[in-house]
Amino acid sequence: MPGISGRGCGAALRHRLQALVQTASVSLRQETWLLAALLLLPYPAHAMHLAEGLLPFGWAAGWTVSVLPLLALGVMRLRERVAQSPLYSPFVAMLAAAVFVISCMPVPVPITGTCSHPCGTGLAAVLIGPVMTVLVTFVALLLQALFLAHGGLTTLGADIWSMGVVGGFVGYGVFHGLRAVRAPLGVGAFAAGMLSDWATYAMTAFELASALHGSQPLGGTLGTLLLAFLPTQLPLGILEGALTAGAVVFISRRRPALLNFHALPAASTP
Amino acid sequence: MSRTSPLREWVSGLDARIKLGSALLALLVTLAGPAPHTASGIAALALLASLAVGEPVRVLMRRLGLALFSGLAVWALHWVSQPEATGTWAPALVLGTRVAAGAAVFGLLTSLTPPWALVGALRAWRVPAALADVLALAVRYATVLERSAHSAREAQVLRLGYRDVRRSLRSLGALGGLTLVRAFDQAHATAEAMAARGCRGTIVPPPGEHP
């Protein structure tokens, strides 16, 4: 990579960048600004998906092995429900396909001028609970990897952790916590979608930082990555909250039974 | 070389288990081998294989774009935070070549193997039947739902549903809800069709059995 390792050009660019940061009198760290600038380039934003090969072997294996018990629990729940209702298996499959479709919807991100996409796992957690959301996330991520080359096989475990486990459990907990204190349906769904998205992005930043910090302290790298992703993920989380709230309110008007689908006894499912 | 070359047809006709197993092995070697030489070698081999089976060069360039982007981001992270350090390009090169190898191998696999064949390979590797069924159904209906959501979005656009921010947010929520309702309807129709055809067990047959 001659453009990167060329020391003369590199030194000049470095000095110019540092001078720019100093003259702007910005309190944030320099690397955060550079990373943010790099992430705001007109390149498809896949902040929620770690690309194939991004994680070293140990980390990729660790995230994959640690998510297996939750996937096994999801499969056990699926078997139980399928034995009760033959509709459950197609429903989970369709929900996975719907999460796949929703996460392909291009959402214009304000300020940055780029497009990103929602996760849809907060919405899935509201509908079928967090454990089944892990399974749905696995299927949706595998489809995205196979159809669109988003994510990959070696990073699948880490991606399931951030989107399915953290995003799903946070979305479910926030929604039911707010509903328990009698918050309106739309408010609960909005908070669930928004916080689920932000939690997913925080977890993704942690996964990246833990694998890539090298000789630097983990906390510093994590803070840098969190701040660098902030310009896109802050508005995107709000948009995901609006999407979740709109979808849940729409479903509550058209098919209210869907909101309690995971809790219904088998006999009452259509 | 055209995309219907004899070599491409031969590789496409190989058992999906062989292709998936080879790709996984290549990815594991990429991650576990000495960096960046192993990753560079595997990326080069995968790119040559892609060219040999007729993959367009622009597709390969697009795959490598993500590797370049990832490498640049890591270089920026190390370079500006430790300006006095030398060799800040090394971690970027390691990561960039790893992502390039991953993208090249995985891209080659997905271009030569349809998703349903990969699901069949997973079933043959003793993935639980319930999960294989969900995967098979989701693979089948993902494109159907995507087309449905696309047509609904076009109808919203024609009705000026994305005229301003407020209407855009409302339309986006309705689109998400409508997609889920249609998914549920499709699930119901699929369950009835499966029952009508006497399906009581698994959709994807276990290895060695043909429906």
- The answer to whether the Cβ–Cβ distance between B80 and A92 falls below 8 Å is no
Q: How far apart are CA A132 and CA A124, in angstroms?
A: 9
- The answer to whether the Cβ–Cβ distance between A242 and B78 falls below 8 Å is no
| Chain B closest-CA separation from residue A33 CA (Å) | 10
For residue B111, which phi and psi values (nearest 5 degrees)? Answer: -80, -20
| Chain A closest-CA separation from residue B131 CA (Å) | 7
The partner residue sitting opposite A87, judged by closest CB among B27, B142, B191, is B191
**pLDDT band per the 50, 70, 90 thresholds, residue B11:** confident
- The answer to whether the Cβ–Cβ distance between A255 and B181 falls below 8 Å is yes
| Chain B closest-CA separation from residue A85 CA (Å) | 10
Chain B residue with minimum CA distance to A236: B169
By the CB < 8 Å criterion, does B135 face chain A? yes
Residue pair A138/A156 in contact (Cβ under 8 Å)? The answer is yes
- The answer to whether the Cβ–Cβ distance between A38 and B76 falls below 8 Å is yes
Residues 71 to 90 of B: which have CB under 8 A from any A CB? 71-83, 89
- Helical axes A130-148 vs A88-102, angle rounded to 10°: 60
Residue A74 has a pLDDT of 93
Chain A residue with minimum CA distance to B148: A101
Residue A166 has a pLDDT of 95
The stretch B139-167 carries a mean pLDDT of 83
- The answer to whether the Cβ–Cβ distance between A212 and B170 falls below 8 Å is no
Residue A11 has a pLDDT of 57
The partner residue sitting opposite B194, judged by closest CB among A86, A95, A243, is A86
For residue A116, which phi and psi values (nearest 5 degrees)? Answer: -135, -165
Q: What is the 3-state secondary structure (H, E, C) of chain A?
A: CHHHHCHHHHHHHHHHHHHHHHHCCCCCCHHHHHHHHHHCCCCCCCCCCCCCCCCCHHHHHHHHHHHHHHHHHHHHHHHHHHHHCCCHHHHHHHHHHHHHHHCCCCEECCCCCCEECCCCHHHHHHHHCHHHHHHHHHHHHHHHHHHHCCCCCCCHHHHHHHHHHHHHHHHHHHHHHHHHCCCCHHHHHHHHHHHHHHHHHHHHHHHHHHHHCCCCCHHHHHHHHHHHHHHHHHHHHHHHHHHHHHHHHHHHHHCHHHHHHHHCCHHHCC
| Chain A closest-CA separation from residue B181 CA (Å) | 7
Residue B168 has a pLDDT of 82
- The one-digit pLDDT tens for each residue of chain A (270 residues) are 333 334 444 555 555 555 544 544 444 455 555 555 555 554 444 445 787 778 888 888 999 999 999 999 999 998 888 888 777 888 888 888 888 887 776 665 554 444 567 788 888 999 888 999 999 999 988 888 877 767 788 889 999 999 999 999 999 999 999 999 999 999 999 999 999 999 998 998 898 888 877 777 788 778 877 887 777 788 888 888 988 998 899 889 888 888 876 654 444 443
Q: Which residue of B31, B78, B175, B185 to mutate against A (max A Cβ within 10 Å)?
A: B31
- The answer to whether the Cβ–Cβ distance between A258 and B101 falls below 8 Å is no
- The answer to whether the Cβ–Cβ distance between B115 and A147 falls below 8 Å is yes
Q: How far apart are CA B170 and CA A246, in angstroms?
A: 6
Residues 87 to 126 of B: which have CB under 8 A from any A CB? 89, 91-93, 95-96, 98-103, 105-107, 110, 115, 118
ipTM rounded to 2 decimals: 0.78
Q: What is the mean pLDDT of chain B?
A: 81
- The answer to whether the Cβ–Cβ distance between B149 and A95 falls below 8 Å is no
Residues 6+ apart with CB under 8 A from A206: A222
| Chain B closest-CA separation from residue A247 CA (Å) | 4
Most confident range (mean pLDDT) of B15-24, B89-98, B111-120 is B15-24
Segment B47-101, tens digit of pLDDT: 999 999 888 888 888 878 877 877 777 777 666 666 666 666 777 888 888 888 8
Segment B154-169, tens digit of pLDDT: 888 888 878 887 888 8
Spell out which residues of chain A touch residue B191, defining contact as CB-CB under 8 Å: 86-87, 89-91
The stretch B5-30 carries a mean pLDDT of 88
**Is B103 a residue whose pLDDT tops 50?**
yes
By the CB < 8 Å criterion, does B183 face chain A? yes
Q: How far apart are CA B90 and CA B86, in angstroms?
A: 9
**The model's pTM:** 0.79
The stretch B157-186 carries a mean pLDDT of 83
Per the DSSP assignment, residues forming a β-bridge with A107 are A116
Residue A4 has a pLDDT of 33
The number of residues making up chain A comes to 270
- The answer to whether the Cβ–Cβ distance between A243 and B69 falls below 8 Å is no
Residue pair B105/B30 in contact (Cβ under 8 Å)? The answer is yes
Closest by alpha carbon to B160, among B149, B151, B171?
B171
